[in-house]
A and B are shown apart, each in its own frame.
Chain A
Amino acid sequence: AQSVSQHNHHVILSEAASLELGCNYSYGGTVNLFWYVQYPGQHLQLLLKYFSGDPLVKGIKGFEAEFIKSKFSFNLRKPSVQWSDTAEYFCAVNAYSSASKIIFGSGTRLSIRP
């Protein structure tokens, strides 16, 4: 069955700490991988995506993610978090084809202490 697992439900960090959010997926075939972010009171925004090429993907606001095919993982990282990174982060996957449905993980709530 197609699924996405996010290991942490709630992560609390201090400003300037490094961040890594885990994500594993189960999906037959070639995939696209995403991280979406939802800031408090706002809509889902695309943080970054991987669909081919360099498995290390750089996104907005200093975030990056690494696709490790052998581990079915797509972990999100940021070397130094800021208070404004407080948000819910969703890992997601869909099939490598046009306009296919997105399967979301359950989300990780990130709280940053100022």
Chain B
Amino acid sequence: EPEVTQTPSHQVTQMGQEVILRCVPISNHLYFYWYRQILGQKVEFLVSFYNNEISEKSEIFDDQFSVERPDGSNFTLKIRSTKLEDSAMYFCASSQGLAGGTDTQYFGPGTRLTVL
């Protein structure tokens, strides 16, 4: 069964450094998403992406964040200058974009980002 994959599984970085988290969505999916989960808190929506544009973003997704689909298979989340509070598990998801309620988002295994 096709799966969403993410790399790396764990990223450690120094505060102020740039990080890029990578995702390979399921191949026939058209919509891509990033969510994050700070330890002990809820999974929170960050951004959705379709047709090379951001469809929706949350308040969390400020100018420090950007997303890109650099080629036909990868979907990336870049954090320009990491802060301590960016430490979290970041989940990528993808969906086909089916009509109405039939659309289902499939999640990757996550990248644990630790900012020191």
Residues of A within 8 A of B (CB): 32, 36, 42-46, 49, 51-52, 90, 92, 96-107
Contact = CB atoms under 8 A, between A and B. Distances in A.
Most chain B Cβ neighbours within 10 Å, of A44, A97, A104:
A44
Interface of B: 31, 33, 35, 41-45, 48, 50, 55-56, 58, 91, 95, 97-110
Contact of B102 (A45, A51, A106): A51
Contacts of A92: 43
B101 A32 contact: yes
Contact of B55 (A46, A99, A105, A107): A99
Q: Which 5 A-B pairs have the closest CB atoms?
A: A51-B101, A43-B109, A44-B107, A101-B45, A104-B43
B42 A105 contact: yes
Nearest to A3: B42
Nearest to A104: B43
B47 to A, nearest CB: 9
A99 B45 contact: no
B41 A42 contact: no
Q: Which residue among A99, A100, A104 has the maximum number of chain B CB atoms within 10 Å of its CB?
A: A99
B112 to A, nearest CB: 11
B41 to A, nearest CB: 7
B98 A98 contact: yes
15 contacts: A43-B109, A43-B110, A44-B91, A90-B43, A96-B100, A97-B100, A98-B103, A99-B48, A99-B103, A101-B48, A101-B58, A102-B43, A102-B45, A104-B35, A105-B42
Contact of B56 (A32, A96, A101, A104): A101
A104 B44 contact: yes
A104 B35 CA distance: 10
Contacts of A103: 45
A85 B103 CA distance: 26
Given A99-B95, A102-B45, A104-B44, A42 B100 contact: no
